[in-house]
Structure formats: C-alpha cells, structure tokens
Amino acid sequence: MNYETTVDPSTGSALSEGDVLTEVEHEERTRRRRWLAIGAAIVAVLVIALYLVTRGGDTSLPADNQEQTPAITVVVPGKTSIEGTITATGSLAARRDMPVGVVGDGGRVVSVPADAGQWVRKGQVLVVIDRSVQNQQAISSKANVAVAKADAELAEANLERALQLVDRGFISKADIDRLTATRDAASARVTVAQAQYDELLARNARLNIVAPEPGLVLTRNVEPGQVVSPGSGALFDIAKDGQMEMLAQLGETDLAKVSVGQTATVVPVGTNTTYTGTIWQVSPTIDQQSRQGTARILLPYKPGLRPGGFATATINSGAVDAPMLPESAIQNDDKGSFVYIVGNDNKVERRAIKTGLVTENGIVIAQGLNGTERVVERAGGFLSPGDEIRPVLASSRN
C-alpha cells in the first residue's frame, strides 16, 4: 500500500494528519475573508449608487465642502440724502478789469502819484504829464477871447450910435445894415474864440490820467520821465470796487447743474484759506475744443485773492439721493470703476459704476446702482465674476 506523506515546506519534516487538516482550514478561512471583503465593497458601491439616485442626481458639495465656500461681507447701501457739490478749477481775475491809458495828446510824465495795490477814488489823478506848452497855448487862446469880446463891444457901440442918427437923416439904411452885420460877426468871433479856449482847457485837463471809477490798482506800467501817447497801451489796470472773481471751468454736465445765485467756496493754490463767493454768471456757450463752459464766481476783495492765480472751487449743487459705499468696495481697472454684486445664486458679478462726491462717510455712486444690491464690501480684489461665495451682511457682524 502506498501512503502520501505531507511535508512541511518550512521545516522539511512530515506533517501529521491533524496538521494537514489545520492547514486546509486556514486556507478556507482566508478565501472566506477575501470573498467577504469583495462583498462588502460591492455593498458599499450599491449604497452610494442608491444615495445618488435618491438625491435625484444632485451633485452639490457635501456640507463639509459647503463650509469651505468663502464667507464674504456684503453691504446693501440703500440711498442717502447728500448735499451735492461740484469741484472745478480755474483762474482768479478782477470782476471788472479797467485798463487805463492816455486819452489826450500825451507827453512827458512828470509824476505818478498812484501805485499798484493802492485804492483810488473816481477822478483821482494817476499820472501827471508836463503841460508847460499847453499852458501857454491856453493863455494865448484866452487873450483871443478878450480881443474878440472887445471887437464885439466896439461893433455894438457903433451900431447904437448909428441908430441914433438914422432918424435925422445922417445915416442911411444901408449903413445900419452894414454896422449890424459887423456887430453880429464880432459876436460870433467871441463865441468861436471862447469855444477854442474851452477846447484847449479840456485837452489840457485830459493830459492828466485819472481813475475812471473807484477801485484797486492792480498793475502800474509807467514811470516818471517816460513819454506816453495814445499808442502806449494801458498804463494801469484797476479792479472796479476791488471786486474779484474766479473763472471756474466746468464740463457740460456740471455746467447744467449750476445757476446764478449758488454759493461756492474758493481755495487759491498754495494756501489753505477758503473764500466764500456766489455765482453771478454762467457761460451761455460751450467751448468747442475743450467742451467746457465758465461759471463766474463773485468774490469780495481779500488780500489773499490775487488776479492771475489758480484756485479750486467747490460749488453747492443741492441735495441728491444716491447710494454710498466705503472706498474698500470700489475697484478700478483700465475699463473704469466697478463693484462686485452678489446675485440670488450667491455668485459674484461685475457692475460698472460712476463715482461722485467723496465724503467722510464714503463715496457717492452717481451711476450704476439703485441701492438695493448686495455689494461686496471687501476682498473684491480676490474675486472674479462667477465665483460663488457665502454672503454675510455687514449689519449682522458682531
């Protein structure tokens, strides 16, 4: 009889019948565990599939992943009543700039009793011009008047004597007519001589250059010894009554918002001093090149207002109702200003805006928002259109 002998591979010794049975049971248990693992995997796959089917194909993120969606603070700006202002730049000038020059024959300047920065009254002498020759001419003209009067008196006396003799027949009617004509001609010569004398006095009076109206002397362009004539140009510039103005340059849109009587504050460049004025004229035309017009702001005289200087004006344009946002909510790029608003699906979208007045409480949004939108308050620089966020209203923050 042949007997099979089982040898232990590890030791090379023969295994007993009990040992062989133990080995068989071990292999059986190993196969059973393998099948159990495979079955468990199949069951897990079936459970997941059933879960997805019962969810109707919903593939949204689990709760743990939803918690990873960034929480972003948003604000609903609403509308705020804001005192509207318009900022403009421009130059300072005299409201009524009066250039004063030679109105007579001119001549050599003897003295200049007025200087820049002085106040002058109407008719005050600004420049005295040498009139020695003109004075002699006036004396001569006055003498001519005296001669003409004497001739007129003699002619009148001759006529009166002739009238006393005409009734006696010593003087003819023709002689009376001749004497009457002589008397009338002499009277006319008196009138001519007097007019010439008065004209010469008026011309001499115009030699002195005087202030046409009261005001502040802005510039002086004449010195003693200088020879001046009507072609010498303006010798003085005078601001009538010392009133100043700012020529504020405004775009078409802003110009349409201002009117005569509105108040404005003016700050000259290089100073922190403010001056209050009133718009007294709005330009009726628009410059075709710059597309701007001028609002003229009347300013009472102050030493700090220097014509020709540059200034900034803030014009009160009335109250407006508009949304207001913090500066952190507003983004800028090459396309302009914009904000991120959050839709009903909690996704971010870009909204172009136009900013307005800058205040201590925020920036006014002139165009682009109606105030009911949810606007990303911060972190806009880290978002892109289409990003999903978890919005948190600013009012709900602790």
pLDDT at 27 over 80: no
**Is CATH 1.10.287 the classification given to domain 132-206?**
yes
List, edge to edge, every strand of the sheet that includes 125-129.
Answer: 209-210, 125-129, 107-111, 227-228
Provide the token pair at 30.
Answer: 């190993």
Tell me the backbone φ, ψ of residue 352, rounded to 5 degrees. -70, 140
Cβ-based neighbour number of residue 213 at 10 Å: 15
The closest of 95, 370, 133 to 237, measured between CA atoms, is 95
Question: What residue has token string 């005299």?
Answer: 94
pLDDT of residue 194: 92
Which residues pair with residue 183 across a beta bridge? none
Give 5's contacts (C-beta < 8 A, 6+ positions apart): 14
Cβ contact 283:90 at 8 Å: no
DSSP string, 332-358: EETTEEEEEEE-TTSBEEEEE-EEEEE
Tell me the backbone φ, ψ of residue 222, rounded to 5 degrees. -145, 145
Mean predicted confidence (pLDDT) in 187-215: 89
Query: d(Cα 74, Cα 377) in Å, to the nearest integer?
Result: 5
Query: d(Cα 390, Cα 229) in Å, to the nearest integer?
Result: 84
Cβ contact 162:176 at 8 Å: yes
Within the chain, residue ranges assigned H as helices are 17-54, 63-66, 132-166, 173-205, 252-255
Mean predicted confidence (pLDDT) in 196-203: 87
Provide the token pair at 310.
Answer: 């540059």
Query: d(Cα 214, Cα 60) in Å, to the nearest integer?
Result: 85
- Identify the sign of the CA torsion 200, 203, 208, 210: positive
* pLDDT tens-digit map of 322-376: 898 998 889 998 888 999 999 888 889 999 998 877 777 888 888 889 889 999 9
pLDDT at 256 over 50: yes
Confidence of residue 23 (pLDDT cuts 50, 70, 90): low
- Residue at 65: amino acid letter: N
Provide the token pair at 256.
Answer: 């349409």
Indicate the domain borders of the chain: 18-59, 71-79+323-396, 87-95+243-319, 98-127+211-239, 132-206
Domains 71-79+323-396 and 87-95+243-319 share a fold: no
**Is CATH 1.20.200.10 the classification given to domain 71-79+323-396?**
no
Question: What is the topology classification, in CATH, of domain 98-127+211-239?
Answer: OB fold (Dihydrolipoamide Acetyltransferase, E2P) (2.40.50)
Give 198's contacts (C-beta < 8 A, 6+ positions apart): none
DSSP string, 3-37: ---EE-TTT-PEEPHHHHHHHHHHHHHHHHHHHHH
SS3 96: coil
**pTM attached to this predicted model:** 0.55
User: Could you give the percent of the chain with pLDDT greater than 70?
Assistant: 86
pLDDT of residue 90: 94
The closest of 303, 300, 295, 294 to 276, measured between CA atoms, is 300
Confidence of residue 1 (pLDDT cuts 50, 70, 90): very low
* pLDDT tens-digit map of 112-122: 999 999 999 99
Confidence of residue 89 (pLDDT cuts 50, 70, 90): very high
pLDDT of residue 25: 67
Question: What is the topology classification, in CATH, of domain 87-95+243-319?
Answer: Elongation Factor Tu (Ef-tu); domain 3 (2.40.30)
pLDDT of residue 36: 77
Give 151's contacts (C-beta < 8 A, 6+ positions apart): 186, 189, 190
